[in-house]
Amino acid sequence: MWVWTLFFVLPFFVTSHGAKILAVFMTPSYSHQIVYQPIWRELSLRGHQVTVYTPNPLNDKSLTNLTEYDLGFSYEVLKDHHFEDTKSPSENLKKVLECYKKVFENQMSHKYLQDLIKNVNNETYDLFLVEYIWQSYYAIKEIYNVPMIGLTSLPLTLLASDSLGMDKHPVLDPDIFVQFSFAETLKQRVFSWAYNWIYRIIVKPRWLGQFNAEIKKYFGERIKDVRQLAQEVSLVIGNYNFALQNIKPITPKYVPVSSLHVRPRKALPTDLAQFMDNLKNDVIYFSLGTNVKSSQVSKEKIQQILNVLGRLPYTILWKYETKNLPPNLPKNIIVRKWFPQQDLLGHPKVKLFITQAGIQSLDESILREVPMLIIPFLFDQKINADKCVKLGIAESINFADFTEDELETKINKLLNDQLYRKNIKEQARIITDQPMSSVDTAVYWIEYVIRHKGASHLRYKSVDIPFYQYYMLDVYLFVALISSLLFYILKRIAVIVALSYTAFKKLIVAKIFNWRYTEEKKIK
């Protein structure tokens, strides 16, 4: 009997042996951090000693294995930064890079990160988790000599894809900054192809140089080149699902997960629940997320939106960040600084979600089966909007030049055409049909890397060769040279043959002429 008891109990003792995990998630954006929070929470619950540097700590005292360093001061860096629409991919990219550069400098100058870099407590770790976006942070793995796992709340950028050896096809999977999800026209295909190569040849080297300079400044001269640091990542856990992202080949080092932050619906706060239950009409929820502030975008355009919403026979719940409300606010619009978005979208009276199409908001809306009116602004939002419209789960408007008639027509279409709700239910089934939860998947692969000491066997060899070898440009050049040489030789042979044939022909003609002349002379 005791043998069977050991058989069932022993695995729990084995798996409960915890690792020491260091994690740094830099982005001062709640919509990013809520994707990572369930992972470090679950790692702590499973017995790992987790130390996290984050702008949004959980502050959960029941997690006794968790130590958090609050980087919330980083929000001050972006406080006055206005994220508005731009039609230029290069401007989009420039804005993002400038923001992250400021945040990096701000965090690296703080005592928390300085102590971490200097290892003032003589700590040792078994694994380093890092937000896989700003590559200067990857140098921390060298200080503690540990394997590194990247996490990202966004689809992979071109830079990240190259580091993993994953080909980001310019037609089938355009970069998130080009503002369309699939290159359908010749113009889009040429643009996306040119963007990829301009980025690789001009932009990427410039920013890799920037990363190396930052590493030397804060980590010293002995740290490896940032290209090598990025390629040494054991694996990357990324936000990806079959509904919203383009289907593409992936390597074993990329682990796709979706809707990490989405949890079962909870009851609404008492006051909001009573308000919703007492309503006699249905609800439209309006929020532009955490990065785009309604109070900071064009007041004229916001007023146009409010004019349309005020004419609808619906109650509008609007997440608005300041007390300075627009004048003449329609009576059917209820304003709060914050709503429990996941739970509100799950309420049966919510019939439409007006959103900026951040990937986390899309996950929530799809899983709660609420069609969307999308107003994309920047980053990946325009690609997300394009994809959602093609899936038949949303309509989209351009914030810069929409009209009230266009907006009202699209809202009414979304509210009255049941095909949108049917389509979104189907996409929700696709996303949720997985062998295990996203959190369990992420934690399994993190522990897999720990068990296999970095899991170097997952490394795809393409990251070790230059791009001209990966794309076989040297092979094509060699074949072209050999073909040219063979063509030249064959051409010379053909010329010699032609000349020889011409000379021979002339000789024969001359001999025939001489023979006829001789015969004619004999006859005479």
Q: What are phi and psi of 68, to 5 degrees?
A: -120, 140
| pLDDT at residue number 455 | 93
Segment 98-135, tens digit of pLDDT: 888 999 999 999 999 999 999 998 999 999 999 999 99
| pLDDT at residue number 80 | 65
Query: CA–CA separation, 190 vs 179, rounded Å?
Result: 14
Beta strand extents in 72-210 (DSSP E only): 127-131, 148-152
| pLDDT at residue number 12 | 41
| pLDDT at residue number 85 | 53
Residue type, 504: F
Same fold, 11-166+224-258+436-467 and 270-432: yes
| pLDDT at residue number 224 | 92
| pLDDT at residue number 414 | 97
| pLDDT at residue number 83 | 57
| pLDDT at residue number 67 | 96
CA distances (Å), 111 to each of 70, 108, 120, in order? 11, 8, 11
Q: Which residues of the chain have pLDDT under 50?
A: 1-16
| pLDDT at residue number 246 | 85
Domain 270-432 adopts which CATH fold?
Rossmann fold (3.40.50)
| pLDDT at residue number 65 | 93
| pLDDT at residue number 89 | 59
Segment 5-21, tens digit of pLDDT: 444 444 444 444 689 99
Cβ 99 vs Cβ 78: under 8 Å = yes
| pLDDT at residue number 90 | 65
| pLDDT at residue number 81 | 64
As a CATH number, domain 11-166+224-258+436-467 is 3.40.50.2000
Q: How do the domains of the chain map onto residue ranges?
A: 11-166+224-258+436-467, 270-432, 472-524
| pLDDT at residue number 13 | 42
Segment 169-180, tens digit of pLDDT: 999 999 888 888
Cβ 449 vs Cβ 127: under 8 Å = yes
Segment 240-260, tens digit of pLDDT: 888 888 888 889 999 999 899
